[in-house]
Amino acid sequence: MATGRKIIVVDDAAALAIAAADRVLARIGSDPGRIAICLTGGSSPTQLYEVLGKPPYQSRIPWDRVHWFIGDDRFVAVSDPLNNMNIARQIFLDRCAPAANIHPIDTQAHSPDEAAALYQRLLLEFYGADRLDPARPLFDLVLLGVGPDGHVASLFPGYPAIEVTDRWVVGVPEAHVAPFVPRVSLTLPALASCREMLFLTAGSGKRPILTRVLGGEDLPANRAHSRDGETVWLCDRAALPENFRA
């Protein structure tokens, strides 16, 4: 659970987007080769996406060598406003990244399970092996938000998907919170295979769940951490529980 978590506090959501963008750039700069970034859904990353897609960040990203994945998606049409990768594409990816470097979950598949199997295959091919080697993480950076029930990606508390260790991607037939559409999600071991896991939490709406997370409850958000790298929680002041504010 939550091993070696580092908490970084910033003033507000705008500062959080800048701090996150700086970490994205630092992560890209730490390796001259191919970079794999796993994006997240929901509203938490949208300001970050806006920052990445415009100067000065846009021109500092070597787009040709950065590959963009998604940690979970809603099983809706690719063009649906609820589709997580669609949101990232609209805000910055389609304008900035080569199409071949954008790797969405195929939500046109017959079922969430089939979409999960297809995405797992895509990840295996990208990684070049079917076993995750701790010395060579799948992702350089994994971004995550946290839901009101403590879920991350589409790994909801008490659902079987949270316990899956023999697959990298799973279908999730029912969501625990809105939007109530089936999901496809990376599993904890796949998300954990990263040099850095970066949580984005801003606004007073996140304070109740952050209070529970930092209180050490057994929640998906506390089970998610980078296996051998850094786990960083970027929080703005409004999201921080009272007892952490001092």
One of 87, 88, 152, 186 touching ligand 6PG (CB under 6 A): 152
SS3 state at 134: coil
Looking at beta carbons only, is 65 or 149 nearer to ligand 6PG?
149
Looking at beta carbons only, is 77 or 129 nearer to ligand 6PG?
77
> In the bound complex, which residue of the shown chain has the CB atom lying closest to ligand 6PG?
42
Assess 112 for contact with ligand 6PG (CB under 6 A): no
| DSSP code per residue over 175-218 | -SSSS-S-EEEE-HHHHHSEEEEEEEE-SGGGHHHHHHHHTT--
Give me the sheet containing 35-39, strands edge to edge: 5-10, 230-236, 194-201, 139-144, 35-39, 66-70
| Whether the Cβ atoms of residue 137 and residue 228 lie closer than 8 Å to each other | yes
Minimum Å gap between C-beta 196 and ligand 6PG is: 17
| Whether the Cβ atoms of residue 163 and residue 15 lie closer than 8 Å to each other | no
DSSP state at residue 153:
T
Measured CA to CA, the distance from residue 23 to residue 245 in angstroms comes to 23
Minimum Å gap between C-beta 109 and ligand 6PG is: 17
Alpha carbon distances (Å) from 229 to 32, 58, 138, 140: 18, 26, 12, 9
Assess 43 for contact with ligand 6PG (CB under 6 A): yes
Measured CA to CA, the distance from residue 169 to residue 190 in angstroms comes to 8
One of 27, 67, 89, 151 touching ligand 6PG (CB under 6 A): 151
Q: 194-201 and 230-236: which strand pairing?
A: parallel
Looking at beta carbons only, is 44 or 187 nearer to ligand 6PG?
44
One of 145, 150, 182, 229 touching ligand 6PG (CB under 6 A): 145
Minimum Å gap between C-beta 233 and ligand 6PG is: 13
One of 17, 41, 188, 199 touching ligand 6PG (CB under 6 A): 41
One of 25, 42, 207, 217 touching ligand 6PG (CB under 6 A): 42
One of 16, 153, 232, 235 touching ligand 6PG (CB under 6 A): 153
Please, which of residues 72-91 interact with ligand 6PG by CB under 6 A? 72, 74, 84
Closest Cα to residue 47, out of 20, 8, 78?
Answer: 20
Total residues contacting ligand 6PG by CB under 6 A comes to: 15
List residues near ligand 6PG by CB under 6 A: 40-44, 72, 74, 84, 145-147, 151-154
